[in-house]
Amino acid sequence: MTEAELRRRIADPERRARLAPTGTDDAVDLMPERRIDAAVLVPIIFRAEPTILLTLRASTLSSHAGQVSFAGGRMEDGETPEQAALREAAEEVGLDPRLPILLGVLPEHRTITGYHVTPVLALLTPPFSLTPDPAEVAEIFEYPLARLLQPGGAELHRRELRGRTREYWVWPHETHHIWGATAAMLRNLALLLAD
């Protein structure tokens, strides 16, 4: 896929119509006063074979320790999702905020804990350097875009949680369990870009 084709697919209104917000509205019922706006950076690294940049969260974190995620976090007062995503990526993986070319956003993902996360799409062209903050990131790795776009790549799983059956997506990987919010955002990206 060329860069021009990637940009065309991301901007295509018919493709964007395939997408919907992901996650849950349970937090509205459980904690109506709790809404936390957040943003993550979803960088497509434009190599000969494009990839998606992901992180493995440090095992010492108080929430979502050891889980796969995008660099990102809570928005500060007055920040746009784009500003927050770039700031968080700089803090977590040392990505120079001048390098990503912003391409738009995916629909938000809502978590049971009240987070409303905006995934910010970006194009990242090598060379660049990354330095993970060990307090937040145990590992930086890349997921092949071609694998993301394979039909039937994601698996839908179900489990009981807080008295309800919950569904969540899982993306196959040799060493990491990619599930939950990250997997749902990846699925929306796959729906946007797939043939």
Confidence of residue 12 (pLDDT cuts 50, 70, 90): very high
Residue with the two structure tokens 């890349």 = 142
pLDDT surpassing 90 at residue 142: yes
Whether 16 has a pLDDT exceeding 70, the answer reads yes
Whole-prediction pTM = 0.89
CA pair distance 145, 67, nearest whole angstrom? 20
Averaged pLDDT, 145-161: 85
- Is the model more confident about 62 or about 118? 118
Domains and CATH numbers, the chain: 3-146 (3.90.79.10)
Token digits of residue 58? 């440090």
Q: Confidence band (pLDDT; 50, 70, 90) for 64?
A: low
Question: What mean pLDDT comes out for the span 48-64?
Answer: 81
From residue 153, alpha-carbon distances to 51, 156, 177, 183, 187 in Å are 15, 10, 14, 11, 9
* Side chain identity at residue 134, one-letter code: P
pLDDT of residue 77: 94
What does the pLDDT read at residue 100?
97
Return d(Cα 143, Cα 49) in angstroms, integer: 10
Q: Which of 118, 124, 126, 101 is nearest to 44 (CA)?
A: 124
- What strand order describes the sheet that includes 178-179? 155-161, 164-171, 178-179
Express as a percent the part of the chain with pLDDT over 70: 90
Q: In which band, very low, low, confident or very high, does the pLDDT at 170 lie, cut at 50, 70 and 90?
A: confident
In whole angstroms, give the CA distance from residue 15 to residue 20. 11
Nearest to 49 by CA among 143, 159, 172: 143
HEC assignment per residue over 141-152: EEEEHHHHCCCC
In whole angstroms, what is the distance from residue 94 CA to residue 105 CA? 22
